[in-house]
Structure 1
C-alpha cells in the first residue's frame, strides 16, 4: 500500500487514506492485528479475504479501494476498508432504464477498532464520507447496520456530517439465538406439540444426512452440490444464480477454511443433495449467510429441517455464543430466534452535484412507486400484481402445488434473505 493522502485529525494520532498498491505492507499487518483484536469482526473483513475478493474483480475501476487508518507509527487504533461498489438505479427503486452509480462500500458494515465510542465512530465515518466525496463516489454503502451500534447513531445524527442519507433497505428485524449452556434448555422453549412436529418431519424425510463443511478438501464437492441445488431453487429464479461454482467462490471459501472460519452445511435426502447453507463462525459468533434448497423437496420443509439440524450440531460441536440470522424478518427466524434487534442498509450520499442528482431521482421514483402501490391496494389488485411481477406470463403455471409451496414460502423457514457478502 502507498499513502495517497493524509486527513487532519483533532487528536494526536495520524489519519491516513492508503491505496491498495501492494499486499506486502505494514498496513496489512496492522489490519490483521486489529481484526484479531476486534471481538465482533466479521470474517469477510479479514485482509486475506478482502484482497482475494478485489483480485477477482475487473481492473481499471474509476474509484479505487482504500484503507482508512487511524493511529501512530507504532500502533494502529482503527481501520476502515472501503471497496468499489457499482449499483444500477433500477436495483434500488429507479424507474425505467437504469444507469450505473459508482460508490464505495464499508467492508463488513463496520470499522475495525476496539474503541466503539460514539465520538470515535463519528470521526471515522466523517473521514470515510469525506474521502468518498473527494474520490467522486456517488454513495458510501453501509450494509445491515445494527440500530443499537454507535456507528448507526453516528450515521443518523442530524446535521453533524456532510452527507444525506438514503435507506436502501428500511429498518427491519434482525434475529439472533443466544445459546444457553444446556442444549435441552433451548429446545424446552418450544411447546411439546412443536417438538413432536420436528420429530414427525424427520421421520417423514427418511434417510437424511447433514455434512459439516469446514476444510478446503471438502469444498469442490460441496460447491458442485450447492451449484446444482441453487439452479433448482426459488432464490435463483428470483435473484439470479446464487452459487456459480467458479474459481472465485472456491478461492474465497478456501480462505475462510484456511483461517478456521468456514462452517457451512450440506443436507442430503436419500443420498441426493437437497439443501445447503454457507455460514461461518468466528469469535463466538455463527453467521447464516446464504441458504437454498431444491424445489423437488419443498413439501418436506427442507429449509427448516436443515436449520433445526444445524442448531443441534452447533450445540454438540464447538458451540458458539450466538447465532446471527442477518437482517430481515421471517417466521422461521421468529420461531428459532431468542431475541431480536433492528438493522438497515444505508447509503451516505456526499453533497456533490452528481450524487445529489441521483439521490433526488431515486427519491422521486420512490414517491411514484408509493402512489401507484396505494392505488393498486385501493383497487384490491395487490395479490394479482405481486404474482405477475414474480412469475410474469407464467403466473398460471405457478399456481401448481409444488410451485406455490416453493415460491410463496408456506413454510417460511425456507425463505432466504438476499444477504450481500
Structure 2
C-alpha cells in the first residue's frame, strides 16, 4: 500500500489569520528536525503538554513507511503559540461492506493526544485551518485524532471544517472518559466510599493472599519488568480478545527508556506468592498519572487481581510523589466508574477530505456500524447477547 504524497521539506509560510497569527509548516525525519529549538521552547513553557509532544518521542514514533513527519506551528511574529505534530500512520478503518472502500489507509495522526501550546480559540482555529490545507496539498486520505474531548476548542474548530466538505467519523462513539481527582492522602480518598464498599475492597485484598507491589521508575530495571509484563500479557484476557498488548521489543524498550529519561516513567508490577501476576504500564507527567496499559493472569480472575492492583497503585500514588489527577484513558468500564470521581466524554476521530472517494469510505463505515447495532439489538431482544457475552468471558478465563 503506497504512502501519501509528501511535499518539500522547506518551511511554508501560510496566510495570516484575522488575529495576526500565521502558521509555518516543516517536515522532519530521523536525520533532521528543522524546528527543534522552537519545538522545545514551546514544550518547556506549555502547561498543557503530554510527554508524547516531545520531539524525541515524535522522531522515535516515525514508522519505516509513510514519509516524514511534519509540524504546523502557529506564531505571533516570531513567537510560537501552538503546534500540531503529525506522524504518518497506517490507519485501520475496519472491515468494509461497500465495494471499493478500504479497510486501511496510510494517513497521518495528531501526536500527543491534542495540540501543543495555547488553547486560545484563534490559535486552535489557525492550526486547524492549516491542517485542512495540508491534507489537501499532501493528498492525505485520512487523519486520526486520538482521545479528542467532546467539549474542547479542538473539536469545535474541527467541526467547522464540515462546511468545507470535510467529514468526521469516530473510530468508536464518544464515550465517558474517567478520571480520579486525587486528594492529599489515601484516607481522604477511601473515605469517599461507603463503609460497605470499603469493607468489600479490604476483603478483596485479604483474599488475594501474600502479595507485594513493585514500582518501576528507573531505566536499569526496564528489561526485567518488560519480560515479566510480556509473560503476564500473554495470559491475559486482553491479549486473547485484542491481540498482544505487550511486545517486549526494541520499540517498547526505547519508549520506556525515554519516559525514564524524562522522569515520567511510573509502571507497576503486582507479585503474588513471589510471582508476577499483574502489571500497569503507566507514566506521570505534569501532575497527571496516565493509566496506559493493564494486564493480569486470567487464571486468577476470581481473585480480582486488577482491582487489587489498582487499589495498591492508588495508595502508592497518594503516598509518594502524588499527582493531581489519575487518568484512566479512553473507554468506559465498570471498574473505572467505580473508582472515578470525574468524567468527560472523548473519542478517537477520523477526518476525511472533500471528494467522492471519501464520501464512499465514510458511507461504508457508517453502514457497517448500523448493521452491527441492528444485529446487537436483535441479539439483545432474543436474550442471546448476554449468553454470548458470558461465554466469551468464560472462554477468556479458561
The equivalent residue for 2:4 is: none
In structure 2, relative to structure 1, the CA distance for the partners of 1:380 and 1:302 (3 Å cut) is closer
Alignment of 1:295-310 (within 5 A): 295-310=298-313
Question: For residues 164 and 195 of structure 1, what CA distance do their matches in structure 2 show?
Answer: 47
Kindly state the Cα deviation for residue 295 of structure 1 after the two structures are TM-superposed.
1.3
Are the equivalent residues in 1 in contact too, given 2:176–2:344 (CA < 8 A)? yes
Give structure 2 stretches of 5+ with no counterpart: 1-7
Are the equivalent residues in 1 in contact too, given 2:22–2:126 (CA < 8 A)? no
Question: For residues 180 and 84 of structure 2, what CA distance do their matches in structure 1 show?
Answer: 28
Kindly state the Cα deviation for residue 158 of structure 1 after the two structures are TM-superposed.
7.3
Question: In the alignment, which of 3, 8, 28 is matched to residue 10 of structure 2?
Answer: 3
**More displaced, 372-381 or 36-45?**
372-381
**More displaced, 250-259 or 129-138?**
129-138
The equivalent residue for 1:44 is: 52
Question: In the alignment, which of 16, 41, 63 is matched to residue 24 of structure 2?
Answer: 16
Alignment of 1:51-130 (within 5 A): 51-54=59-62, 57-59=63-65, 61=66, 63-71=67-75, 74-90=78-94, 99-114=103-118, 116-130=119-133
* 1:82 alignment partner, SS class: strand
Question: For residues 348 and 316 of structure 1, what CA distance do their matches in structure 2 show?
Answer: 42
The equivalent residue for 1:393 is: none
Alignment of 1:376-415 (within 5 A): 376-384=379-387, 386=389, 390=392, 399=394, 403=395, 406=397
In structure 2, relative to structure 1, the CA distance for the partners of 1:281 and 1:358 (3 Å cut) is same
The equivalent residue for 1:200 is: 203
Alignment of 1:355-370 (within 5 A): 355-370=358-373
Question: For residues 180 and 366 of structure 1, what CA distance do their matches in structure 2 show?
Answer: 41
Kindly state the Cα deviation for residue 13 of structure 1 after the two structures are TM-superposed.
4.0
Question: For residues 253 and 134 of structure 2, what CA distance do their matches in structure 1 show?
Answer: 33
**More displaced, 365-374 or 250-259?**
365-374
* 2:279 alignment partner, SS class: strand
In structure 2, relative to structure 1, the CA distance for the partners of 1:4 and 1:354 (3 Å cut) is farther
Are the equivalent residues in 2 in contact too, given 1:102–1:139 (CA < 8 A)? yes
Question: For residues 158 and 30 of structure 1, what CA distance do their matches in structure 2 show?
Answer: 28
In structure 2, relative to structure 1, the CA distance for the partners of 1:94 and 1:325 (3 Å cut) is farther
Question: In the alignment, which of 153, 165, 170 is matched to residue 168 of structure 2?
Answer: 165
Question: For residues 126 and 77 of structure 2, what CA distance do their matches in structure 1 show?
Answer: 19
Are the equivalent residues in 2 in contact too, given 1:118–1:150 (CA < 8 A)? yes
Question: For residues 228 and 378 of structure 1, what CA distance do their matches in structure 2 show?
Answer: 40
* 2:228 alignment partner, SS class: helix
**More displaced, 318-327 or 14-23?**
14-23
Give structure 1 stretches of 5+ with no counterpart: 391-397, 408-421
Q: CA RMSD in A?
A: 2.4
Question: In the alignment, which of 23, 32, 42 is matched to residue 40 of structure 2?
Answer: 32
In structure 2, relative to structure 1, the CA distance for the partners of 1:88 and 1:340 (3 Å cut) is closer
* 1:132 alignment partner, SS class: helix
Alignment of 1:330-345 (within 5 A): 330-345=333-348
